[in-house]
Structure 1
Amino acid sequence: MTVSELNRLANQVLTQSFPLFWVSGEVSNLTRAASGHWYFSLKDNKAQVRCVMFKGRNSYIDWTPKEGDKVEARCNVTLYEARGEFQLTVEFLQRAGLGVLFEAFEKLKLKLQAEGLFDSQLKKQLPIHPKKIGIVTSPDAAALRDVLTTLKRRMPSIPIVIYPTPVQGKGVATLIANAINQANLRAECDVLIICRGGGSIEDLWQFNEEVVARAIANCNIPTISGVGHETDFTICDFVADTRAATPTAAAELATPSRESLLNSLNVLKNQLTRNMQYLLNQRAQSLDYLARRLISPIQHIEQQKSRLAQISYRLNSSLNQQLHTKQHNLIRLSQNLQHLNPQAVLTRGYAFVQNTLGEIVTSSQQLKSGDEVTMTFNVGSADAIISKPKP
């Protein structure tokens, strides 16, 4: 086994054998490298151990340790393989004594979570266009100036009500809760901002007190928690309807941007104008179409008269044609009838013979000697007796 393999194996054993744990000690030999990493030792009165806290982890720390600081480090055991040096890789660093606060924080957080105070279903929606905004904070706080500046920039027309209270110091949690209760009782605002600037966990601890959390939970006004900086989390953040990373962000969440509203109004105005212009064009086209179809009464009468004259002409023409055709047919039939008229035949010297029964005799075989017949001529008739029929 080579030295590299030995150190790699030792590092694996150490990492697997020692999960994350807390160790307390005094900072010494602190070095802040150009890379951003921190190198230091933790010691007590009997021993010391080398530590490293990489830039990716110490950037989340809102304070900088110095020589002699009593700290608590959450870390794991590793071996710097290149030198075979035993060291602690620190994931989180806090001042000594803060562990008790974190324990109290987690205990209260679990209690309120079990009661359902953090349920998303209980969260109230922030109004889109609040008519009045309330702020719970210290009148002397820099956070208040940031909030007021942001509100004035975004929507200066919205009235603001400040519910003053100290936000730092022993025993001020009750005063903060009273201010929240007062805002809820007066019910004059549409949204309530609870804010203060950043600070250490001790500075922000009043917003981790149960009395403040329950005041927020019982508030009928939609609440925004804007306590500390982006990396700071308090119990208020979990109970409030909305959490903002900073007081300025809380002000932005509470108000619509005037510029955004104006831009939206311009977009809606342009869209409405286009839609109205489209409708007007459609109606104008329909009106033009109807106008082209609309005819004055005189024109309508003239058109009907012309149409009636045309119909009358066609009717007369049709009747005349039919009359002419009937007359022609009548003449033709009359001529045919004239040709077939027996009287016309008689005028040419012919006669027709009838027996005593009035029947026309067309053949000599119908007669016998002694039969009486009547012969009709063109003019007059004569009776005769058949002497001898001839075939």
Structure 2
Amino acid sequence: MTVTELNRLARSVLEQNFPLFWLTGEVSNFTRAASGHWYFSLKDASAQVRCVMFKGRNSYVDFTPSEGDKIEARCTVTLYEARGDFQLTVEFVQRAGLGALFEAFEKLKKKLGAEGLFDDAIKRSIPALPEKIGIVTSPDAAALRDVLTTLKRRMPNIPVIIYPTPVQGKGAAQSIASAIHNANERAECDVLIICRGGGSIEDLWQFNEEIVARAIVSCSIPTISGVGHETDFTICDFVADKRAATPTAAAELASPTREGLINTLKQLKSQLGRSMQFILNQHGQALDYLARRLISPTQQLNRQKLQLEQVSYRLRAGMQQLLNIKQQHILRISQNLAHLNPKSVLTRGYALVQNKSGAIVSASSQLKNGDEVTLTLGTGAAEAIIQNIKKTH
């Protein structure tokens, strides 16, 4: 037997007797070759083993292992014949402990699903035109900046109330649940956005805790979940009234645009026209039927004429009443649009104050003597220099 034959036989014995299995260990001597393949060792306190993970496999891993990382590897045993090296061929890796997290996720999902907490029947509609929007998130999160920017662009006059809470780390789940309960008790917003940016399953885990899910279910305010990126799913997404792919998408779901309201008006107008035409057609058919039943005697003719006049009167009255209802509906929507226009506030004597950088000044504490500001009025604008600052309580 030659060395080549020996190594080939040893490789065959190893691969046939060790099916695909999971191995937990600590990463050591990690190297990424120019070919894109990963070479590293997995070790524990007493031993180590060489591993290779080819580019076609490691391209599906969402992180790059580094020295000291504890990972779980799905692999097979083999022998590198050219050097007679015993090694593992790795098919997939994940951070150690993720299996337990996925198991806990599926267990809670099954439990809450069995209680009917994911059913569409209990989901509430998101208001088409909210007067106030609440946000549960960290005040330092990039997700909050994205949400505020989107709301300012779409509906700049809608007040926003932030219910601050940590969204990651020990105790964050309890804080998130408390913030949701606080928003529900204060009952000052029409829709509640619960959001944070993307991250690993560990980063988002607080939104997979049962205490957060129960808080969302018990909240009487319609809720929108905007946790992570489009491919991230949490228990929060399943129990919320609406799931958004990202925090920005959640802000878009919560806030209509002026163009959207105008389109709604057009749709209502179109529906009104179709309804009127339907009523006219129905009563026209009734009139045709009555006309065909007319007979020659004068008395019968007069009676039918009276009935025809009564039907015509009811038709006109019904049409007028329908028109009045639809016109009042359109008027209310038009008034809402007018109230939502920031310029309508300025025409009543108010002014929009901006500092030199263009930021809006809402309190005297943001100014000092000598500051230059721009005043936007109902018609036109003016420049001013601050001379005397008065603080009110």
**TM-score class normalised by the smaller sequence:** 0.5 to 0.7
Q: Deviations over 1:264-293 (max 9, x none)?
A: 479879x97xx9xxx9xxxxxxxxxxxxxx
Q: Measure the CA separation in 1 of the matches of 2:264 and 2:206.
A: 43
Q: Secondary structure at the match of 1:118?
A: coil
Q: CA deviation at 1:192?
A: 1.2
Q: Measure the CA separation in 2 of the matches of 1:141 and 1:131.
A: 24
Change in Cα spacing, 1:11 to 1:207, as seen in structure 2 (3 Å) is same
Aligned to 1:91: 92
Aligned to 2:227: 227
Q: Measure the CA separation in 1 of the matches of 2:243 and 2:110.
A: 18
> Is the counterpart of residue 24 in structure 1 residue 24 in structure 2?
yes
Aligned to 1:158: 158
Aligned to 1:197: 197
In structure 1, what residue type is equivalent to 2:53?
V
Q: Measure the CA separation in 1 of the matches of 2:125 and 2:10.
A: 57
Q: CA deviation at 1:144?
A: 0.9
Change in Cα spacing, 1:265 to 1:101, as seen in structure 2 (3 Å) is closer
Change in Cα spacing, 1:49 to 1:110, as seen in structure 2 (3 Å) is farther
Q: CA deviation at 1:12?
A: 8.6
Q: Which runs of 5+ in 1 are unaligned?
A: 280-391
CA contact (8 A) 1:180 1:216 kept: yes
Q: CA deviation at 1:31?
A: 3.1
Q: CA deviation at 1:210?
A: 1.3
Aligned to 2:76: 77
**Percent of pairs with identical residues:** 64
TM-score by length of 1: 0.56
Q: CA deviation at 1:8?
A: 11
Q: What aligned pairs does 1:160-309 form with structure 2 within 5 A after superposition? A: 160-258=160-258, 264=263
Change in Cα spacing, 1:22 to 1:8, as seen in structure 2 (3 Å) is closer
Q: What aligned pairs does 1:61-140 form with structure 2 within 5 A after superposition? A: 61=62, 63-73=63-73, 75-77=74-76, 87-94=88-95, 96-140=96-140
> Is the counterpart of residue 51 in structure 1 residue 52 in structure 2?
yes
Q: In terms of Rg, which structure is larger?
A: 1
Aligned to 1:357: none
CA contact (8 A) 1:191 1:223 kept: yes
CA contact (8 A) 1:41 1:50 kept: yes
Q: Measure the CA separation in 2 of the matches of 1:113 and 1:126.
A: 22
TM-score by length of 2: 0.56
In structure 1, what residue type is equivalent to 2:204?
L
Q: CA deviation at 1:47?
A: 3.2
CA contact (8 A) 1:58 1:92 kept: no
Q: CA deviation at 1:208?
A: 2.0
CA contact (8 A) 1:165 1:175 kept: yes
Q: CA deviation at 1:257?
A: 4.1
Aligned to 1:369: none
Q: Measure the CA separation in 1 of the matches of 2:245 and 2:33.
A: 30
Change in Cα spacing, 1:35 to 1:163, as seen in structure 2 (3 Å) is farther
Q: Secondary structure at the match of 1:89?
A: strand
Q: CA deviation at 1:116?
A: 2.4
Change in Cα spacing, 1:181 to 1:38, as seen in structure 2 (3 Å) is same
Q: Deviations over 1:51-77 (max 9, x none)?
A: 31646764552x43212212123x242
Q: Measure the CA separation in 2 of the matches of 1:127 and 1:229.
A: 24
CA contact (8 A) 1:180 1:219 kept: yes
Change in Cα spacing, 1:242 to 1:266, as seen in structure 2 (3 Å) is closer
Q: CA deviation at 1:181?
A: 1.5
> Is the counterpart of residue 146 in structure 1 residue 125 in structure 2?
no
CA contact (8 A) 2:26 2:71 kept: yes
Q: Secondary structure at the match of 1:248?
A: helix
Q: Measure the CA separation in 2 of the matches of 1:253 and 1:265.
A: 16
CA contact (8 A) 2:23 2:75 kept: no
Q: Deviations over 1:123-146 (max 9, x none)?
A: 333333333221111222221111
Q: Measure the CA separation in 1 of the matches of 2:108 and 2:253.
A: 27
Q: Measure the CA separation in 1 of the matches of 2:142 and 2:123.
A: 28
Q: What is the CA RMSD across the aligned residues, in angstroms?
A: 3.9
Q: Which runs of 5+ in 2 are unaligned?
A: 278-393
Q: What aligned pairs does 1:330-345 form with structure 2 within 5 A after superposition? A: none
Q: Deviations over 1:148-173 (max 9, x none)?
A: 01111122232222112222232232
